[in-house]
Amino acid sequence: MNVTIDPSWSIGGKPHGGYLLSMLAEAALDGEHPHPMAISAHYVASPNEDAAEVDVERLRTGRRVASSRVRLTQDGEVKVEALVSSGRWTEGATPLWRSPLAPPELPPLEECFRAPSVGPTGTRVGQLDHVDLRPDPATVMWAVGQPAGHAEVRAWMRRDDGADASLLDLIVFADSMPPVTFDLGLMGWVPTLELTVLLRGLPAPGWIRVVQRATLLQDGWLDEDCELWDSEGRLVAQARQLAGYRVPEGWTPPAG
């Protein structure tokens, strides 16, 4: 399948990983398996903002789940490779069991201002022209030179056009938060090596609450765990990625 990578989604000239992941997930869906359930991708190299090929190899078609391998290539070179499981989620499904985990506590929307698509580093963050991201001010003090040192960011999120989020939108949202490294005073590029998104159910209408945090930064690599909760307080997506970071000379950790 021929596709064109939309430059409006790029960050400093590099296409947004969640946008690419959503594109690959959509290519694997069919009428019997219309909903993404899990997708895991390795970002081999960043594609250009240009024409590309998306190839889908169906590995197995089951009654409840279809499994596919999806590749994004340019000029014969693999740029992103993903495994996608698709099926059908039931609207309004209730949990059989759930942990005490709860949605993140956030200030009222009117106290959370929309994140601009041009951030404090001067880099254009393309997905923020498509995603209305309203961070908790307490978790983005790095934007005024006062990182908290907690490696956690919380926010409200919805589509830029105000429409209710689809499952494909949740895949984009799962990679749309500011890097948690910013909260440690590390403001550089954070390239994703691998990203996995688990969709947990159809989201209710309204804003999505998002929290993203890290567990370990070590040897130039960090993890980022992301939870997405809908307006009814239901966990609707989880994501984890392995990404790189660089420590500039003279950096000292903020007191947190």
Query: Could you tell me if 151 and 42 are in contact, meaning their C-beta atoms sit under 8 angstroms apart?
Result: no
Its sign, for the CA torsion 19, 154, 224, 234, is: negative
Q: Output the pTM of the full model.
A: 0.96
| Average model confidence (pLDDT) across the chain | 95
Give domain limits for the chain: 1-87, 114-256
Three-state secondary-structure class, residue 125: strand
CA–CA separation, 148 and 158 (whole Å): 25
* Of 148, 156, 142, 143, nearest in space to 111 by CA: 156
CATH 3.10.129.10 fits 1-87, yes or no: yes
DSSP string, 23-72: HHHHHT--SSS-EEEEEEEEE-SPPPSSEEEEEEEEEEE-SS-EEEEEEE
Q: Is the pLDDT of residue 113 over 80?
A: yes
Q: Is the pLDDT of residue 256 over 70?
A: no
* Of 88, 92, 101, nearest in space to 62 by CA: 88
Kindly report the number of other CB atoms within 10 A of residue 172's CB atom.
Answer: 25
CATH class of 114-256: mainly beta
Query: Could you tell me if 35 and 26 are in contact, meaning their C-beta atoms sit under 8 angstroms apart?
Result: no
Spatial CB neighbours of 231, under 8 Å, sequence gap ≥ 6: 203, 204, 205, 206, 207, 208
Q: What is the pLDDT of residues 76-107, one digit of tens each?
A: 999 999 999 999 999 989 899 999 999 999 99
Query: Could you tell me if 35 and 87 are in contact, meaning their C-beta atoms sit under 8 angstroms apart?
Result: yes
Q: Is the pLDDT of residue 120 over 80?
A: no
Q: What is the pLDDT of residues 125-140, one digit of tens each?
A: 999 999 999 999 999 9
Query: What is residue 74's DSSP assignment?
Result: E
The mean pLDDT of 155-178, rounded to a whole number, is 98
